[in-house]
Amino acid sequence: MGKKRRALVICAHISGLFIVYWLCAAAFADYAAKSGSPENLALAVSVFPGSAELYYKSGLLAHYRAVLPDPEKAAWYYEKALTANPFYQKAWYGLALARQSMGRTGAASRAMDNYAMLGRGSPEKAWDIAVFYLVNIGDRDKAALFFKKYINLAPEEQSKVYDLFIQEDQPLSNITGKLLPENEKSYSGYLRYLVRHGRVNRSVLFWRSVDHSLIDEKSAISLCDLLLDNHRFDEAFSISGELDGAGRQNEDAITNGSFERDIRNGCMDWMVWDVKGAESFYDGSNHTDGKRSLSIRFDGKHNVELYARQFVKVKPGACYSVSADMKTGGLTTSNGFFLDVAGYGCSGLHLRSGMLTGSTPWKTEVLSFTVPPGCGMAAIRIGREKSAKFDNKLGGQVWIDNVRMLQKKPLREHKKDIAAARGHETRIGF
């Protein structure tokens, strides 16, 4: 019994020493991997010859050392790491780069293919692979395949792809066919990228060539605004009409004049800027048409300049009448709200109504005008300018509703119609 107990104690001691050795060796291996010392790594590899991580770290040291980098030795270490663990992804990536540095392009591509197979679902890996094929191998088709995966996985970062990959003269069919995933986020993101960089012609070409159900409203509005900025009014009007759909009325040039749907803040819809000291909202309890009006409340602490603006398409020589229902409640300062019409991108057209101040019940302001030659677009504004007076802080509230703009016949044609009607009068005798 005593011999058995001594044997058990000896075994326990040996096991304890082994565990302590293993723990110390593991700690040293971890230290060696983090220290980056070639000597420590070599010693750690001799202790743990089956560690894929230690071989990989040794490969990195050989691959990227400051003096005389050795991609061939690095490749050997990477291969040893993969022998220990064929699923060690970073080793496949390192091996691909090392082989490419050695001029072994085919072997590099095969290693990268293995890395790609193991790294599915990661946008970072898709990006690394795409850049490798584009920059190191020069294979644009294969790069496009992985950039497409990256866009699909990280649509919010897709502009990085366009900055790096897309060439100025690249056919759009290559971009839609090879690069863009066929979904709304990708198509909308690419259109916004073109708009953001001022690529007017390219943006229009892309818009015309794709299914518009793949473009979200925000992106379509950004293109419309770009076209307006560049005075391409017919194309902007076409996009606006598509956004409005059945909601656009042929007789009335104003879109959403009664604010029955939320304003788009762009294109040929209403634009209301966010300014300090003003809060805009829809008021369902105070309106003249439909179910609600646009209301703006002021805090009385700021000298506010604010407009509700909409661009409308006009015809040179045509006559129009624009009207708006307005109401004010407790507006301070003598600078009140007015209705304003001005030519956009042209001169000779600017009219303004009187100002509403204080508390005024609903009132319809009307402006009539004839469009001067060379003017194809007008801006309808309802707003207030900054005051130059000492007491200039604006408080109170304003309501806007039932904004309309209708084309009228010129006065001389109206007189002709009256004369013609009189000429066809039938006299009845008794």
- Residue range of the domain that includes 309: 271-410
- What is the number of other CB atoms lying within 10 angstroms of the CB of residue 166? 18
Residues 291 and 215 in one domain: no
Spatial strand order in the sheet of 278-283: 278-283, 293-299, 395-408, 319-331, 358-370
Give the integer Cα–Cα distance in Å for 400 and 405: 15
Q: Which CATH number goes with the domain that contains 212?
A: 1.25.40.10
Q: Give yes or no: residues 237 and 280 share one domain.
A: no
Amino acid at the residue 302:
H
Judge if 325 and 395 occupy the same domain: yes
398 contacts 335 by C-beta, under 8 angstroms: no
Main-chain phi, psi angles of 41, to 5 degrees: -65, -40
Residue labelled with tokens 């082989």: 99
3-state secondary structure of 280: strand
Same domain, 46 and 158: yes
In a domain, 61, yes or no: yes
- Tell me which residue of 288, 256, 284 sits closest to 269, measured CA to CA: 256
pLDDT tens track of the chain, all 430 residues? 566 666 555 555 555 544 444 444 444 444 444 555 665 665 556 555 668 888 899 889 899 988 889 999 999 999 999 999 999 999 999 999 999 999 999 999 999 999 999 977 899 999 999 999 999 999 999 999 999 999 999 999 999 999 999 876 788 988 999 999 999 999 999 999 999 999 999 999 999 999 999 999 999 999 999 999 999 999 999 999 999 875 455 578 999 999 999 999 999 999 998 999 999 999 999 999 999 999 999 999 999 999 999 999 999 999 999 999 999 999 999 999 999 999 999 999 999 999 999 999 999 999 999 999 999 999 999 999 999 898 899 999 999 999 999 999 775 654 555 445 455 444 433 2
Q: Total domain count for the chain?
A: 2
289 plus 212 within the same structural domain: no
Q: Where residue 329 sits, what CATH number does that domain have?
A: 2.60.120.260
Contact yes or no for 157/130 (Cβ under 8 A): no
| Residue 219 and residue 286 share a domain | no
SS3 71: helix
Q: Are 193 and 289 within one domain?
A: no
Residue 153 lies in a domain: yes
**Distinct helix (H) and strand (E) counts, the chain:** 15, 10
Helices 184-196, 140-153: inter-axial angle, 10-degree rounding: 110
67-75 long-range contacts (CB < 8 A, ≥24 apart) are 71/97, 71/98, 71/99, 71/101, 71/102, 72/98, 72/102, 74/98, 75/99, 75/102
292 inside domain: yes
Q: Examine residue 17 and state whether it is found in any structural domain, yes or no.
A: yes
Q: Write down the pLDDT at residue 246.
A: 53
Kindly state whether residues 171 and 114 are assigned to the same domain.
yes
Output the pTM of the full model: 0.78
Helix axis angle, 2-35 relative to 52-64, nearest 10°?
30
pLDDT in tens, 31-48: 444 555 665 665 556 555
Q: Is residue 6 part of a domain?
A: no
Question: What is the pLDDT at residue 245?
Answer: 77
Nearest 5°: CA angle at 163, between 183 and 217?
A: 35
The neighbouring-strand residues paired with 379 are 311, 342
The DSSP string of 87-114 is T-HHHHHHHHHHHHHTT-HHHHHHHHHH
Residues 218 and 353 in one domain: no
What pLDDT is attached to residue 151? 96
Cα–Cα distance between 382 and 385 in angstroms, integer? Answer: 10
Clarify whether residues 41 and 158 are in a common domain: yes
Q: What are phi and psi of 131, to 5 degrees?
A: -65, -40
| Residue 228 sits in the same domain as residue 333 | no
Q: Are residues 171 and 65 in the same domain?
A: yes
Specify the pLDDT at position 51.
84
Question: Is 422 domain-assigned?
Answer: no
Neighbours of 13 (CB within 10 A): 10
Residue 52: predicted pLDDT: 87
Please name the residues in contact with 248: beta carbons below 8 A apart, sequence gap of 6 or more.
240, 241, 255
The reply to whether 260 falls in a domain is no
pLDDT at 120: 79
pLDDT value for 421: 46
pLDDT of amino acid 391: 86
